[in-house]
Amino acid sequence: MESVVKVFAFMLLVSQASVRKLNAQTSEMQADRARRDMAIRWPAAYDPSVAPVFSHNELLIHADCHRIFARLSDVTAWPSWLVIVKDVSNETPQKTGKGALYRLKIFNSPIQSRIVEFEADQRISWIPFGADETETHHGHYHAWRFVPQAGNCLVITEETGIGPGDRKNPSSGSHLMHKAHELWLDSLRYISEP
């Protein structure tokens, strides 16, 4: 009987830790939603108010927005400074801005993304596309905005996810996305600040 009680107590402790972790991830997503940048433009299907997964990150980088935007918009150079990305190829070499299609691996997962918004030094966004170049409708929309601030730049990035996996575990997906964006912003700062 004593061993059954110990097993039950252990299972209760483990489940309480899981609930605390889930609550923390849910709180993080709620905080991200509260900080949402209303100046970011979203396709209707990916709007944060309807997407199950959402992440907001921002960082003041001590460099001008032109320099930072140039680093981020050079997608083929990402593997040289962003450890989560590799094998980038521009499938539309004649394009480098809006409409450019890239194949790459993020966290070793192959994706194909098209830049759908490109305003030099201000905004860039992309969306995953399928092999037939139609929107996947189960992917993510990733938006960036660059706000000049007295010689520095506030870099804001937000992403939504609307796929089956996102609906299955939105808090965990948002948490992982948030952490990846922290790394992305820190790496961008590292290569951008003089």
pLDDT at 23: 46
- Angstrom distance (rounded) from CA 15 to CA 126: 38
Whole-model pTM: value is 0.83
Half-sphere exposure of 23 (CA within 13 A, CB side): 6
Contact between 171 and 25 (Cβ < 8 Å):
yes
Return the SS3 of 168: helix
Domain ranges of the chain: 2-192
pLDDT at 145: 98
- Tokens 């995953």, residue located: 128
- Tokens 């990035």, residue located: 157
pLDDT at 134: 54
Q: Backbone phi, then psi, for 24, in 5-degree steps? A: -65, -40
pLDDT at 128: 80
Residues 6+ away with beta carbon under 8 Å from 16: none
- pLDDT tens by residue, the chain, 194 residues: 555 444 444 444 444 444 444 445 567 888 998 999 999 999 998 999 989 999 999 999 999 999 999 999 999 999 999 999 999 999 998 888 999 999 999 888 888 999 999 999 999 999 986 555 555 555 889 999 999 999 999 999 999 988 877 888 888 888 889 999 999 999 999 999 98
Q: Packing angle between helix 170-192 and helix 2-34, nearest 10 degrees?
A: 60
- Angstrom distance (rounded) from CA 75 to CA 18: 37
CATH T-level assignment (fold) for domain 2-192: Alpha-D-Glucose-1,6-Bisphosphate; Chain A, domain 4 (3.30.530)
Return the SS3 of 1: coil
